[in-house]
Each structure stands twice: as C-alpha cells, then as structure tokens.
C-alpha cells in the first residue's frame, strides 16, 4: 500500500542513489530499484519507439514483483507510451516521478497509467510534439492524423482519470520548448492523485503480480480491466449550469425548434461546431440562442462547454440506466463486462461499456454482444453529449 509518507521515502531513497539525473537513452530499458523497507520500483529508461517490445516490460514486472513505476525518459512515440500506460493501469501499479529524473513529452502519457500517481513539482514536462507529429504528410493526411491523434489522446487521458484539458496547455509549447507542470497544475489537471489519498479511506491496494484474466467477450471487443468500485465511495452528483456549447450531432447538423418538440417547426438548421448559448428548459431540452434565433434544442444535440467530458467523434455504447448510484454499482459488479457509470443531464446514471469506439467498431461490437445476449437489446450508441462526468 502506497501513501504520502511512503512516497516521500521513495524520493529520498532515489535522490541518495541518483544525485544527478542520467540522460534519456534510446530504446526502453528497465532497472529494478529495491530497498528492504520499500516496495519494489521499476525504472523505465529511454525513448519510446513504435517497435518497442513491451513483453520485456511485463517480464521485468513479474521478475521483480513490481508495485510502482518511475520514468527516466524524454518521450518518443505517443502510441507506445499510451500502450505502456494501459499496461500499468491493467496491472494496477502506481507511478512515481521524482524531480531528479526526466518524464517529459510522450512519457507524461505513460505516467498517467498509474492507479495512484505521485510526482514532485517540475517533474512532468509537456509540449506540442509529445502529442502530434504530422511531419512528412500532405495537408489532408496531416489534418486527419492530427484529428485522430487528438481524439485518441483525449480519450486516453479521460480513461486514466486525468483532465483532457492538459492537451490544450501542451499545445501552447512548441517542440523546441518544454512546459514543466507546477504542483497546483498537476493537481488541477488530475495528473497526480495525492488529493484522493488525503481522504479518510485508504488508497486501493496495488497488485504485486499481474492478474490472470479469462476473456469471454467477442474477439472484436477486448475490454480493459474492471475498476474496483468501493461501496463507501460517494460520487459527485452535482450538475453544472449549462451556459454555452456547440452543436454535435451524428448527422453533422441539428435544428433549433420553435417548441421543445421534435415535430415542432424548424427555425434554423445549424452545422456541427456552431456555437449556441443555453438555458435549461427541462430534463430533455435547452432554450438556445444563436445569432437572431431563439428556440429549443434537445440535450443530446449539444456538447456543453461546462461539462467535464471532452468532445469526441467516438461513440459510447450505453447498455442501461439507473436513477441511483447503488443500483448502477450493483449492476456493474454483477456483470462480466467492463463497464463505466456516467452522470447524465437528467440526473440519471448511464452505464456504458468501458471506453469509446469508432462508429464502425461500436456498431460491430454492439451487434455481437446483443447476438450473444450479453447486453440488452435496447442498448444504444451515442456521442455522450448528455454525460457530465464519469463516476
């Protein structure tokens, strides 16, 4: 079990062994850092490359009975860093970053994989090139690559429990610059989880050996590991006031209606991305303003700026909904699928398959799971516009 006091001892121990940070090396390597009074730590060194064989990482974890990961890396391939971060999360390992070592650029994404995350101020660095590299592409391919990379990274950040707005900060710094995060920024962007460990309840026990899992889902749906939800946990059920948003509809356009009714007269048709100003009317409709037009839009047609989830073209697969957290929690604990709970604008709780999917994958996965009778026949795909936050 890793707490704040133990983390401070980690930092002191590391500083004793490494007075000066060694430079990042090419290719990933893994060194064990152990002490009789401390859990075993694995140091991930080097640059993330697209062809890195992460089975070596898994073997090092098994060999050393690792409970936490430290990085000494200047970054590299974004998707390989995300892959390593997902392995860290799957094994329920913690991540710890002392200032005496480097974790910048793509490494910051791998760090987010920790189920518990601890870092000293100035130890995590971000900049533009850690997220987007469109060199050597023509204009259309570059735009497509940037859009896909942005969506993938924001989805990963959200899945790891971090604030995807960190991406906006990173994009303000060019590849020849680096922005090292302050303590407050790491807390505000949920890069670290120390605030959670200040709660009276203890942080979750980290796994010391990789779990063995039997997968029974259809081959097209490889689910991430199920989180351990604690009954004593009380989620944030507050609903922020909606003031503004953008049109975000699967048909790429939506209508402002004269009355709060789908069959009502259309005042104007707006394309996706159009800004609208909002005032809640009821649990299904907003009163909206756009230019000289005043009317109504359904909640599912607008991505609200004040809600916590990032806009994405990927789909959620919603399989059920509940009017209270306990019932939703009981449902996911009984399911053999990996599920998430989201607070919706109507105050209900939506239960979805873990993660988000491209439209084609979502359709295929939903069809296979319905045919296998593993999800209800009335399960739906959506953009998640009505979801406020993951609980």
Does residue 114 register a pLDDT over 90? yes
pLDDT at 315: 93
CA dihedral 215, 221, 226, 227 (to 10 degrees): 160
Of residues 173 and 345, more confidently modeled = 345
pLDDT tens for each residue of 315-342: 999 999 999 999 999 998 888 888 999 9
> Highest mean pLDDT range out of 16-30, 82-96, 142-156, 185-199?
82-96
pLDDT at 2: 55
pLDDT at 377: 93
Contacts of residue 54, defined as CB under 8 A and 6 or more positions apart, other chains included, come to: 80, 83, 84, 87
pTM: 0.46
Does residue 130 register a pLDDT over 70? no
Does residue 279 register a pLDDT over 60? yes
pLDDT at 136: 55
Does residue 255 register a pLDDT over 80? yes
Does residue 190 register a pLDDT over 90? yes
Does residue 198 register a pLDDT over 50? no
Q: DSSP E strands: which ranges in 141-221?
A: 179-180
Question: Which of the residue ranges 79-83, 112-116, 134-138, 309-313 would you say has the lowest mean pLDDT?
Answer: 134-138
How far from the centroid of its chain's Cα atoms is residue 312's Cα? 12
Question: Which of the residue ranges 51-60, 170-179, 300-309 would you say has the lowest mean pLDDT?
Answer: 170-179
Closest CA to 125 of 46, 85, 182, 187: 182
pLDDT at 12: 44
pLDDT at 171: 80
pLDDT at 206: 39
Does residue 6 register a pLDDT over 90? no
Contacts of residue 3, defined as CB under 8 A and 6 or more positions apart, other chains included, come to: 197, 202, 203
CA distance 316 to 386: 11
pLDDT at 111: 96
Mean pLDDT to the nearest integer, 2-19: 48
Per the CB < 8 A criterion, the answer to whether 110 and 54 are in contact is no
Q: What percent of the chain has pLDDT over 70?
A: 76
Question: Which of the residue ranges 126-135, 275-284, 326-335 would you say has the lowest mean pLDDT?
Answer: 126-135
Per the CB < 8 A criterion, the answer to whether 72 and 101 are in contact is yes
Mean pLDDT to the nearest integer, 280-295: 87
pLDDT tens for each residue of 142-151: 566 667 777 8
Does residue 17 register a pLDDT over 60? no
pLDDT tens for each residue of 345-366: 888 999 999 989 999 989 999 9
Tokens of 278: 């909002």
pLDDT at 235: 81
Strands 38-45 and 68-72: parallel
CA distance 42 to 28: 12
């Amino acid at each position: 079990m890793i707490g704040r006091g133990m983390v401070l001892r980690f930092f002191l121990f590391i500083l004793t062994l490494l007075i000066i940070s060694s430079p990042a090396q090419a290719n990933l390597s893994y060194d064990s850092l152990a002490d009789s009074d401390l859990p075993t730590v694995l140091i991930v060194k080097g640059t993330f490359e697209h062809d890195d064989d992460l089975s070596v990482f898994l073997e090092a974890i098994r060999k050393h009975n690792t409970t936490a990961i430290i990085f000494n890396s200047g970054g590299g391939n974004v998707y390989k860093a995300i892959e390593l971060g997902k392995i860290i999360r799957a094994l329920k390992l913690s991540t710890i970053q002392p200032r005496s070592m480097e974790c910048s650029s793509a490494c910051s994404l791998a760090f987010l994989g920790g189920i518990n995350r601890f870092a000293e101020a100035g130890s995590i660095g971000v900049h533009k090139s850690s997220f987007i590299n469109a060199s050597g592409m023509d204009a259309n391919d570059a735009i497509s690559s940037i859009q896909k990379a942005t969506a993938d990274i924001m989805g990963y950040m959200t899945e790891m429990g971090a604030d995807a707005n960190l991406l906006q900060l990173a994009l303000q710094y060019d590849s020849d610059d680096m922005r090292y995060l302050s303590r407050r920024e790491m807390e505000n962007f949920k890069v670290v989880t120390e605030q959670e460990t200040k709660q009276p309840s203890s942080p979750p026990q980290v796994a010391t050996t990789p779990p063995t899992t039997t997968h029974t889902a259809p081959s097209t749906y490889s689910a991430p590991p199920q989180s351990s939800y604690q009954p004593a946990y009380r989620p944030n059920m507050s609903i922020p006031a909606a003031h503004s948003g953008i049109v975000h509809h699967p048909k790429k356009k939506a209508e402002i209606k004269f009355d709060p009714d789908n069959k009502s007269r259309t005042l104007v048709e707006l394309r996706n991305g159009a800004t609208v100003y909002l005032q809640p009317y009821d649990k299904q409709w907003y009163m909206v303003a756009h230019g000289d037009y005043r009317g109504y839009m359904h909640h599912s047609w607008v991505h609200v700026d004040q809600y916590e989830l990032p806009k994405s073209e990927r789909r959620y697969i919603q399989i059920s909904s509940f009017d209270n957290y306990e019932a939703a929690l009981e449902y996911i604990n009984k399911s053999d699928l990996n599920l998430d709970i989201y607070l919706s604008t109507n105050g209900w709780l939506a239960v979805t398959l873990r993660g988000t999917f491209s439209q084609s994958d979502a359709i295929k996965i939903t069809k296979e799971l319905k045919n296998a009778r593993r999800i209800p026949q009335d399960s739906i795909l959506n953009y998640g516009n009505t979801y406020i936050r993951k609980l």
